[in-house]
């Protein structure tokens, strides 16, 4: 309260007074002089520090107080921050400013440890699964799920290993990290096909392989009527032909398999194919007793010759001819020189035999034929 008094006095000390009373009342609140922060939406790692606000009052000093309240949401990274600044003067007049900060976790966890996303490795040098470390800006509650799948269809072809880490934070934000390992089958086995004679002795199938491989696998017969004893094969136990064998390594991290072809021939066999080995019938008695029924040429069956045969009667007329004779002539005639009968008359006839591709001179001689004609 302000009291103002005015007094008037004359020369004789007569006095008159006037009093004014002023009552001062403070009803005006302070005013903030700082820029007031507005409402915002932020990630949990982007929350700004609380600002220090200043205020003035028209009647004196203003005191600014600050209060922060957090209301939790559905997950650790979602919540609301309410910040309140109150400016109060000496007469308890106050001004309030409130800032609402909505915190939302929409960022998935991040990888801390580096790793190679694409790796090429030999089958015996596949890298271990890396120990990955993850972090989240809003939560330490991180769920990590690891899965490893392979495209391996068999033991003998290159394949892929796909390693996947699925990382989820408390608010359900998900991140996926993948490593692809390209696995190369490194067992290199070189094979070479070979030929052996049917008279050769037993040999080791490993002699047909070369390269960097172990010998703990299994040999098997793929085609051909053959038997093996481990890796040992005896050509003398089979027929002439081509035989296929497989060597398989199925144990360990580098399985593989290869095939090798072995040709068995009879080139080493010396056949009796000379002129002295040819045996020619002397007599044909086509009477059904199964003895000397046919004119036969034997002794060179395994020589690969083609027999060309001509039969003539004593007058030089050709009564039979074959360009690929099969030991089947029993006195029949394919020539009209013997009349209407299909058999030649009993008598002496003459043959001419040519062994095609033999290099031998033709054979010629008599043959007695008895046909009851």
- What does the pLDDT look like over 27-69, one tens digit per residue? 899 999 999 999 999 999 899 999 999 999 998 899 999 999 9
In a domain, residue 21? The reply is: no
Q: What is the CATH number of the domain that holds 37?
A: 2.60.40
For residues 155 and 218, state if they share a domain: no
Instruction: Point out the domain boundary residue: 203, 237, 265.
Output: 265
Q: Which residues of the chain have pLDDT under 50?
A: none
Contact predicate 273/358, CB 8 Å: yes
Instruction: Point out the domain boundary residue: 184, 219, 235.
Output: 184
The tokens for 221 are: 């017969």
The tokens for 195 are: 């030929």
Q: What is the CATH number of the domain that holds 248?
A: 2.60.40.10
| Three-state SS at 337 | helix
Cβ partners under 8 Å of residue 2, min gap 6: 21, 22, 23, 24
Instruction: Point out the domain boundary residue: 265, 298, 315.
Output: 265
The pLDDT value recorded for residue 299 is 87
Residues facing residue 147 across a β-bridge: 164
In a domain, residue 1? The reply is: no
The pLDDT value recorded for residue 102 is 96
Contact predicate 301/347, CB 8 Å: no
Domain of 123, in residue numbers = 110-184
The pLDDT value recorded for residue 257 is 80
The tokens for 184 are: 């190369």
For residues 282 and 349, state if they share a domain: yes
Smallest Cα–Cα separation from 188: which of 240, 258, 129, 119? 258
In a domain, residue 5? The reply is: no
For residues 168 and 197, state if they share a domain: no
In a domain, residue 37? The reply is: yes
- What does the pLDDT look like over 292-342, one tens digit per residue? 899 999 988 878 889 999 999 999 999 999 999 999 999 887 665 555 567
Contact predicate 243/175, CB 8 Å: no
For residues 69 and 91, state if they share a domain: yes
Instruction: Give the span between the Cα atoms of 253 and 222, in whole angstroms.
Output: 24
For residues 291 and 358, state if they share a domain: yes
For residues 281 and 253, state if they share a domain: no
């Amino acid at each position: 309260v302000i009291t103002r008094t005015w007094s008037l006095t004359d020369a004789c000390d007569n006095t008159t007074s006037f009093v004014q009373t002023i009552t001062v009342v403070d009803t005006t609140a302070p005013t903030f002089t700082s820029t007031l922060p507005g409402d915002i939406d932020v990630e949990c790692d982007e929350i700004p520090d609380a600002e220090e606000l200043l205020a003035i009052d028209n009647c004196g000093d203003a005191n600014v107080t600050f209060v922060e309240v957090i209301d939790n949401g559905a997950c650790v990274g979602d919540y609301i921050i309410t910040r309140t600044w109150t400016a109060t003067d000496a007469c308890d007049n106050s001004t309030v400013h409130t800032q609402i900060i909505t915190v939302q976790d929409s960022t998935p966890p991040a990888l801390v440890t580096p790793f190679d996303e694409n790796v090429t490795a030999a089958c015996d040098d596949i890298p271990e699964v890396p120990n990955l470390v993850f972090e989240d800006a809003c939560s330490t509650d991180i769920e990590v799920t690891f899965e490893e799948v392979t495209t391996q269809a068999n033991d003998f072809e290159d394949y892929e290993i796909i390693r996947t880490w699925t990382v989820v934070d408390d608010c359900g934000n998900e991140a996926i990290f993948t490593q692809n390992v390209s696995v190369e089958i490194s067992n290199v086995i070189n094979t070479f096909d070979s030929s052996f004679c049917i008279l050769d002795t037993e040999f080791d199938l490993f002699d047909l392989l070369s390269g960097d491989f172990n010998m703990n696998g299994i040999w098997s017969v793929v085609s051909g009527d053959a038997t093996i004893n481990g890796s040992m094969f005896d050509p003398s136990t089979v027929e002439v032909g081509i035989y296929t064998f497989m060597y398989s390594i199925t144990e360990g991290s580098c399985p593989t398999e290869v095939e090798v072809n072995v040709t068995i021939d009879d080139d080493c066999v010396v056949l009796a194919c000379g002129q002295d080995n040819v045996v020619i019938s002397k007599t044909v008695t086509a009477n059904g007793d199964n003895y000397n029924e046919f004119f036969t040429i034997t002794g060179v069956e395994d020589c690969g010759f083609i027999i060309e045969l001509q039969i003539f009667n004593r007058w030089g007329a050709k009564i039979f001819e074959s360009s690929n004779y099969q030991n089947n002539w029993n006195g029949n005639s394919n020539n009209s020189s013997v009349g209407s009968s299909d058999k030649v008359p009993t008598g002496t006839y003459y043959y001419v035999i040519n062994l095609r591709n033999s290099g031998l001179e033709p054979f010629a001689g008599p043959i007695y034929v008895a046909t009851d004609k």
